[in-house]
Structure 1
Amino acid sequence: MSCPICQSDTDAKYRPFCSKRCADVDLARWFNGGYAVPSRDPDDAEKAIEEIETLIEAEQRKPH
């Protein structure tokens, strides 16, 4: 089995990863939403659009 992050051989101590570093990279991806499952719910899409519009409006109000 190879490490899902860097494809090196795994280490039993960090399985399925090869090292603590790769395990931490994977954990960071979870925390940052890198593994998020997209939703097909129309309400979720509308909410996401509203959030983006709010962020754009806030960015436009900032002084440059």
Structure 2
Amino acid sequence: MKTLDPRDRSAAIAAAVFLVIFGAGFMFLPRAMLYLGTISPYLAAAVGTLFVLAFFFVFWLRARYQRRR
């Protein structure tokens, strides 16, 4: 069995953390949007939009980092 290179291990840990954080966030997002929708529908839409944009922002940052390497 082949062992992981330290860089590969680091990337795997980062991917797992990313999946856990955003997976939990997307799991609780509908409940949070319903709660925020009672305060303001615009606030709920803004929070949902920002969360989805943050998901793609992480990929954009990763692509910029990889391009420089």
Please give the TM-score of this superposition, normalised by the length of structure 1: 0.36
- Normalising by structure 2, we get a TM-score of 0.34
User: Which structure's residues are more often helix, by fraction?
Assistant: 2
Rg larger in 1 or in 2? 1
